[in-house]
């Protein structure tokens, strides 16, 4: 009998190894859950809760933006310079009004964006936009 024949019958040494496949699956699932939930926890939107502290409703200042680019502040036509002065004066008052912008359905976006930028520069604390839909032809 040779040494080689005795080696083939010898039991192979037992190696204890941890199966990491299931561990990796669990870790990948946890990473996926964290990736989905982390952005949700970071972005918080402050919402006003309850009524106003003063109890009185704020005055609403209506601004209509026509398709032609004309501006109407509470029903009277104004230029951009007049609008800027009126909004700055309203923002400086003791109880500033809420600006409600009402563009027509077919008003170009850049017209509305220019009015929004002007309103933001005026310093009004609250600005609302009332959206309308264009009529569809059936």
Residue that wins the pLDDT comparison between 49 and 119: 119
Structure tokens at 42: 């970071």
Are 88 and 78 a contacting pair, CB within 8 Å?
no
Q: Is the pLDDT of residue 54 over 80?
A: no
Taking the model in full, what pTM does it have?
0.56
- Read off the tokens for 94: 């003791």
pLDDT (average), residues 57-81: 90
- If DSSP codes are grouped into helix, strand and coil, which group holds residue 1? coil
Contact between 69 and 59 (Cβ < 8 Å): no
Residue with tokens 């003063």: 54
Domain boundaries 60-129, CATH class: alpha beta
């Amino acid at each position: 009998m040779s040494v080689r024949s005795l080696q083939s019958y010898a039991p192979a040494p037992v190696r204890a190894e941890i199966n990491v496949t299931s561990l990796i699956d669990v870790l990948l699932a946890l990473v996926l859950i964290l990736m989905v939930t982390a952005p949700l926890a970071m972005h918080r939107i402050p919402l006003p809760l309850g009524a106003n502290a003063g109890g009185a409703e704020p005055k609403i200042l209506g601004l209509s933006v026509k398709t032609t680019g004309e501006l109407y502040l509470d029903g009277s036509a104004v230029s951009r310079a007049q609008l800027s002065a009126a909004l700055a004066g309203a923002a400086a008052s003791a109880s500033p009004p809420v600006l409600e912008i009402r563009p027509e359905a077919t008003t170009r976006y850049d017209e509305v964006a220019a009015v929004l930028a002007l309103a933001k520069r005026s310093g009004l604390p609250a600005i609302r936009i009332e959206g309308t839909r264009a009529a569809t032809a059936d």
